[in-house]
Structure 1
Amino acid sequence: MRNLSSIQSLVTNVGQFNEYSDIYSAPDSFQALQSSKVLVIGAGGLGCEILKNLSMTGFRDIHIIDMDTIDLSNLNRQFLFRYADIGKSKAEVATKFILERIGNPDLKITPHFKKIQEMNLDFYRSFQVIISGLDSIEARRWINSTLYGLAEQENIIIPLVDGGTEGFRGQSRVIIPTLTSCFECSLDLLSAQTTYPVCTIANTPRLPEHCIEWASQLEWNKQFPGQKFDADDPDQVEWMYQTAKTRAAEFGIEGVTRSLTLGVVKNIIPAIASTNAIIAASCCNEVFKIITSVNPILDNYMMYSGDDSIFTYTYSYARKQNCAVCGNAAKKIAVQKWWTLQQFIHEIKSKQEIQMTNPSLTSGDKFLYMSSPPELEEATKANLSKKMRGLINPGEEIVITDPNLPISLRVIVHLEGDDDDPEFSLQA
């Protein structure tokens, strides 16, 4: 069992930047460390590092949640897993490995093999801090807005420490609901998904990515009509890889690998183990400071770049007044008068700072379009072909929701331009 004397010395020696050194208590701080309850979301590359770090830093009550199972492609960087673990729950295997390796009878780790959306609010209320090592933007938006809801509606403030990596780059940040900017505020910083023209991937592929997109967008639907591709299913990913590889051979294109196929279909950049370790260490450092109060916490965003050199930049990310989660102002969007509701929905889905995949729209006391339930979708789908100028008034506010996100985005629409499609008028 590991000796915690090194951790006790960290707590005893109060940091020189501690703002409340006159009332700081080392015994209380150490007690808080051992009695606090911490949630780790994600048991992948970041999550494995985070769980290991927390377990060796004096935390005794840790929960970890992850819906994924272990895949062969995980083993190069998710070091808590072995070949024999393929197909098993990441959260459960990671928990078992840490408990057996550390051997501390006072350490309690509770795994949850579930989606974060399946846990109720009582579950999240029970934690002093939550640390996220997710690679899903949608899941990070969900936990961010859920914690903001608890803060605004119940005055329960649970800090969220969020980490993310892309290749040799990464970031860590501390989100204090209602006090700092939130994850939603920074959506426009995220890399937009790369898209390729359908005509290119169908007729004149030049890159290995073109062949993978051909297999994903065209051939999959042809071979498996009506079946949604599951990027977490190893058999389906293998089919996609082999199909793209065959396509590439026909056009003399090299470079189609299984890891590239997985990266394209899941829209991810291959992870670097060392980057994960650095960002996980930064995140756990912030959790330690939040719980012990030994030093000021990060304010509030740290960026790390390790591709050209070793460089970090820390700054306070400002809150956005029109943020759908922590802001109080509506977002303004210019809409062409000739747009149909369908074209408007396409526009908001493509905006980096909105990123809603299945939006429903209401205006005033009427439904413009409801994506669910089926009865309301059937009743409102006729509006999709109608012009926006006939559905709303200039300057009217629209509320946009998505069944996958617990947020309501307020948008003020400004109608502008011609009444008819300029391209149609020019052709006529």
Structure 2
Amino acid sequence: MSQLVMVENINLGGVGGRPKSRWTYLDNIRRSAGPFCDPDAEFGDESIAMFDSFKVLVIGAGGLGCEILKNLALSGFKNIHVIDMDTIDVSNLNRQFLFRASDVGKGKAEVAAKFVMNRVQGVKITPHNCKIQDKDDDFYMQFTLIVCGLDSIEARRWINSTLVDLVDPENPESLKPLIDGGTEGFKGQSRVVLPTMTSCLECQLDMHAPRAAVPLCTLATIPRQPEHCIEWAHIIAWEKEHPFPKLDNDDPEHIKWLTEKALARAKEFNISGVTYSLTQGVVKNIIPAIASTNAVIAASCCNEAFKIATSTNPALGMEENYMMYSGNDSIYTYTFKHEKKDDCPVCGNVARTLPVDPNLTLQEFIETLAARPEAQLKKPSIRTEEKSLYFQSPASLELKTRRNLKLKMGKLVENGEEIGITDPSLGQVSFRFKLKFSKVFVKVAMVEEKTKGEEAK
């Protein structure tokens, strides 16, 4: 027997030149009930047929997404869709192993799908080169479960709110389990969300507080780090000189210009460390990634997908639903239950309390929403039950409500009043917040009322 045939037979589980199915050993798990199986689950040919009909959506085809696609295909999932709007960059090649140098400039989803299908026969992967926001509800309704390998909090929040909104209590198939994975350097996490039933991603938003912005005064006067020099070039120098009509974070010429400006700034203040790669990372807010961490977290996500699809073992979900991993110092993992919050703006049933200084103008209040860990809204439109305070779009409503931006919150709303906030980047969900004025304002208001009463006398 030739060496090539022997290797192929080993890969397929064959003995004596008679290759078995690629899924033979996998079927041993799918056919047999084990000690941790769901007692109501059925095992056998029917369950395998049902598993084969599962349609899975993978969101993201980057470092984590490549690992997830490969693992799902090798775990027996045969009908997979992948969606990613990005194209392949040279900097991706060190960890996104489905891509080659010849693929630079091509769409990640198409290349990843083609690569996996060529290596794992019998698997169909349909690529979608677009934003997740470009797809409608009917698109997401066709999938049995969804696996995310994203590096964007905004995209996570959008798909989370969309899946919660899809749930119809009278239609069990409208509930789409969401498996979310994320990595940053040596750290990572995987979690399972059962929309409306368990803690959703919005319930956990405070675990992803926005990174503190560097004050403009630091950038403009005394930078201390190479990142400060890059931000100076990005925010101040670019606005002043406008070397190109519009900044394109993916254009090498634009990044090169920013790097040169940052280097000159760094030299002036005797700061080292500015590089083209660092400039690209700062401007595009690239999260540092390590291939091995991606592999660990992708494996966890795909194990959860397999357990949900087969009922062979308890999956993260109703009880423990969040797994954290740290490889910084040795290896540490911890699994716990993240509680569902009644005041979650997406899946909760009561409005979340939002402290506010009523002496802020509406414009100032809107600006604070981006930095608040419990909100993180970038282009919000706001209304009360009775009136519209401010709308970002359409233009006619923006013009009509613009005059409110200069008014103080204490004049526009009452203490304890509920407001609804929408953000175009987060779908159709309306965030409910109950405004709570500060004690300082209450005291000022009491003094004003007392003064008015004395003047009336």
Same fold (TM over 0.5): yes
> Cα 1:154–1:65, aligned 2, differ >3 Å: closer, same or farther?
farther
Determine if the alignment matches structure 1 residue 109 to structure 2 residue 125.
Answer: yes
Determine if the alignment matches structure 1 residue 184 to structure 2 residue 202.
Answer: yes
Encode CA deviations 1:316-355: one digit per residue, 9 max, x unaligned. 1101111111101101122223221112212222101211
2:344 is matched with which residue?
323
1:128 pairs with one of 144, 169, 182: 144
SS in 1 for 2:192: strand
Between the aligned partners of 1:363 and 1:395, the Cα distance in structure 2 is 12
1:312 is matched with which residue?
333
Encode CA deviations 1:242-277: one digit per residue, 9 max, x unaligned. 322232223221111233223322333310000000
Deviation at 1:229, TM superposition (A): 3.5
Encode CA deviations 1:201-227: one digit per residue, 9 max, x unaligned. 112112101111101111122232996
Determine if the alignment matches structure 1 residue 363 to structure 2 residue 379.
Answer: no
Between the aligned partners of 1:227 and 1:343, the Cα distance in structure 2 is 30
Question: Matches of residues 9-408 of structure 1 in structure 2 within 5 Å?
Answer: 9-20=28-39, 23-102=41-120, 104=121, 106-152=122-168, 155=171, 156-224=174-242, 229-298=247-316, 299-406=320-427, 407-408=429-430
Moved more, 204-213 or 62-71: 204-213
Between the aligned partners of 2:83 and 2:231, the Cα distance in structure 1 is 31
- Is the 8 Å Cα contact of residues 187 and 328 (structure 2) preserved in structure 1? yes
SS in 1 for 2:204: helix
2:26 is matched with which residue?
7
- Is the 8 Å Cα contact of residues 338 and 420 (structure 1) preserved in structure 2? no
- Is the 8 Å Cα contact of residues 30 and 43 (structure 2) preserved in structure 1? no
Letter in 1 for 2:434: I
Between the aligned partners of 1:117 and 1:317, the Cα distance in structure 2 is 27
- Is the 8 Å Cα contact of residues 418 and 435 (structure 2) preserved in structure 1? yes
Letter in 2 for 1:273: A
- Is the 8 Å Cα contact of residues 72 and 86 (structure 1) preserved in structure 2? yes
Alignment TM-score, normalising by the size of structure 1: 0.93
Encode CA deviations 1:29-71: one digit per residue, 9 max, x unaligned. 3222221111100000000000011111111111000000001
Between the aligned partners of 2:350 and 2:442, the Cα distance in structure 1 is 29
> Cα 1:23–1:300, aligned 2, differ >3 Å: closer, same or farther?
closer
- Is the 8 Å Cα contact of residues 147 and 177 (structure 1) preserved in structure 2? yes
- Is the 8 Å Cα contact of residues 173 and 300 (structure 1) preserved in structure 2? yes
Letter in 1 for 2:134: E
Between the aligned partners of 2:86 and 2:303, the Cα distance in structure 1 is 26
Between the aligned partners of 1:245 and 1:12, the Cα distance in structure 2 is 62
Query: Superposition RMSD on alpha carbons, in Å?
Result: 2.0
> Cα 1:14–1:219, aligned 2, differ >3 Å: closer, same or farther?
farther
Between the aligned partners of 2:227 and 2:23, the Cα distance in structure 1 is 49
Deviation at 1:396, TM superposition (A): 1.2
Deviation at 1:180, TM superposition (A): 0.7
Encode CA deviations 1:178-205: one digit per residue, 9 max, x unaligned. 1110011111001431321212211211
SS in 2 for 1:164: strand
Moved more, 112-121 or 335-344: 335-344
- Is the 8 Å Cα contact of residues 337 and 419 (structure 1) preserved in structure 2? no
Encode CA deviations 1:74-109: one digit per residue, 9 max, x unaligned. 01100111111111000001111112223x1x2111
Identical pairs, percent: 55
- Is the 8 Å Cα contact of residues 333 and 413 (structure 1) preserved in structure 2? yes
Alignment TM-score, normalising by the size of structure 2: 0.87
Letter in 2 for 1:326: C
> Cα 1:360–1:316, aligned 2, differ >3 Å: closer, same or farther?
same
Letter in 1 for 2:148: S
Q: Which runs of 5+ in 1 are unaligned?
A: 422-428
- Is the 8 Å Cα contact of residues 33 and 43 (structure 2) preserved in structure 1? no
- Is the 8 Å Cα contact of residues 203 and 340 (structure 2) preserved in structure 1? yes
- Is the 8 Å Cα contact of residues 38 and 312 (structure 2) preserved in structure 1? no
SS in 1 for 2:419: strand
Deviation at 1:374, TM superposition (A): 1.4
Between the aligned partners of 1:53 and 1:110, the Cα distance in structure 2 is 16
Letter in 2 for 1:32: M
SS in 1 for 2:339: coil
Structure whose CA Rg is larger: 2
> Cα 1:343–1:94, aligned 2, differ >3 Å: closer, same or farther?
same
Between the aligned partners of 1:140 and 1:382, the Cα distance in structure 2 is 34
- Is the 8 Å Cα contact of residues 259 and 270 (structure 1) preserved in structure 2? no
Deviation at 1:284, TM superposition (A): 0.4
Between the aligned partners of 2:63 and 2:165, the Cα distance in structure 1 is 29
Deviation at 1:420, TM superposition (A): 11
Between the aligned partners of 1:227 and 1:196, the Cα distance in structure 2 is 25
Between the aligned partners of 1:98 and 1:90, the Cα distance in structure 2 is 12
Between the aligned partners of 1:25 and 1:332, the Cα distance in structure 2 is 48
Letter in 1 for 2:154: E
Deviation at 1:279, TM superposition (A): 0.3
- Is the 8 Å Cα contact of residues 201 and 210 (structure 1) preserved in structure 2? yes
Between the aligned partners of 1:76 and 1:48, the Cα distance in structure 2 is 12
Q: Which runs of 5+ in 2 are unaligned?
A: 1-7, 13-21, 445-457
Between the aligned partners of 2:233 and 2:34, the Cα distance in structure 1 is 56
Between the aligned partners of 1:399 and 1:89, the Cα distance in structure 2 is 38
Letter in 1 for 2:235: Q
Determine if the alignment matches structure 1 residue 411 to structure 2 residue 433.
Answer: yes
SS in 1 for 2:150: coil
